[in-house]
Amino acid sequence: MTDTFVHWGMQYEWAWFVATVIGILVIALPLMLAVAMIIYAERKIWAAIALRRGPNVVGPWGLLQSFADGLKVFLKETIIPTSANKGLFLIAPIVTFTVALIVWAVVPFSPGVVLADVNVGLLYVLAASSLGVYGVIVAGWSSNSKYPFFSALRAAAQMVSYEVSIGFVLICVVLYAGTFNLSGIVVQQVGFGLGIVNAFAFNLLLFPMWVVFFISSMAETFRTPFDLVEAESELVAGHQTEYSSMSFALFWLGEYANVILMCALNAILFWGGWLPPVNWAPLYYIPGIIWLFLKMSLFFFMFGWVKATVPRYRYDQLMRLGWKIFLPLSLIFVVLISGWLMLTRYGGPPA
């Protein structure tokens, strides 16, 4: 796009700036629309599992319900507790929302369709997504209220616990792909399963790591059964307790943007990203972005399914799963995969 603007007579610096802004808007605006629609979709999933109807009044089939909810919170007054740290209180939801958006800069939607195709894209995702916990911690502390503060402490411990496991899972993927570039990881999955299936998860050594990654991604986004951060029966609404109006809405937007991101990462890292499920030539005529969206939709359905059916863990169970099960398991598989690749890909150990 930059070359197009330069060809039209624009200076290179301005052409790059305009092209980058357009690229950001092309990702951010559909993402905001997607957040509104997946909230509606998830409520429909919950309703179907509970044999209820879900949103069905505002707009045809209730499609405009999320927009009505957004308008409602937009028109409400922003209330700041008198004892709160006003600056940090207002910055926290902005941090949460912004961090949820910046990670999308390196997500490839199709061959060449990515805002920043950097060589260390996976490291960027890990680093940027880990910043999201700061919004929760700052919100909990600046509210100067006990329930939000407890929520902030829980968020910090939970994020650390599961990011360690996610890090080792990503090492397994990088060992097989040989690159940190997300587009490169997708390309390495072409015909990976017996020359037929386009997915790392078809491998018996990587499928358990996908299960660990999928469960950990629910913990990273504070989804049921790992929603101890905002457990309504214990902490009212967790770090969001003192928030109202658009500051409250920004937390929700950030949370669901992170959920969509985790669905995309599940598809890209383990299930072929924009590639069709099977390495069959006619399937490649379907645009890659459609395959990616279909896979993301499947994972989002699984997120909603788990939330509607699985009860919340106790906090000790949550910590035990992260430190005593996922961490040792992911470490063992790093060793197994490294050894297997040394024997099969690199011709055995050095003499």
Percent of the chain with pLDDT over 70: 96
Q: Compute φ and ψ for 109, nearest 5 degrees.
A: -95, -20
Q: Cis before residue 276, ω within 30 degrees of 0? A: no
Has residue 154 got a pLDDT over 70?
yes
**What confidence tier does 234 reach under pLDDT thresholds 50, 70, 90?**
low
Residue 164's pLDDT is what?
87
The reported pLDDT for the residue numbered 168 is 92
The pLDDT of residue 213: 93
1 pLDDT above the threshold of 70: no
Asked whether residue 329 carries a pLDDT value surpassing 90, the answer given is yes
Q: What average pLDDT is seen over the chain?
A: 85
The residue-averaged pLDDT of 93-116 equals: 86
Strand partners, 278: 197
319: confidence class by pLDDT, cuts 50, 70, 90:
confident
43-65 pLDDT tens trace = 888 898 888 888 888 888 888 88
With a cut of 70, say whether residue 299 has pLDDT above it: yes
Q: Flag whether pLDDT at 127 surpasses 90.
A: no
Question: Higher model confidence: residue 3 or residue 169?
Answer: 169
Q: Using one digit for the tens of pLDDT, what is the confidence trace for 255-268?
A: 888 889 999 999 99
Residue type, 61: W
Cβ atoms within 10 Å of 104's Cβ, excluding its own: 21
**With bands split at pLDDT 50, 70 and 90, how would you rate the model's confidence at 349?**
low
Average pLDDT over residues 194-223: 86
Q: Which amino acid is at 262?
A: M
- Cβ neighbors of 249 (< 8 A, separation 6 or more) are 70, 73, 74
* Per-residue pLDDT, 249: 83
Mean pLDDT of 320-332: 91
More confident site: 333 or 315: 333
Whether the per-residue pLDDT at 298 is higher than 90: the answer is yes
pLDDT band for position 16 (cuts 50, 70, 90): confident
Range with the lowest mean pLDDT among 11-20, 57-66, 122-131, 271-280?
11-20
Confidence of residue 326 (pLDDT cuts 50, 70, 90): very high
CA–CA distance, 305 with 224 (Å, rounded to integer): 10
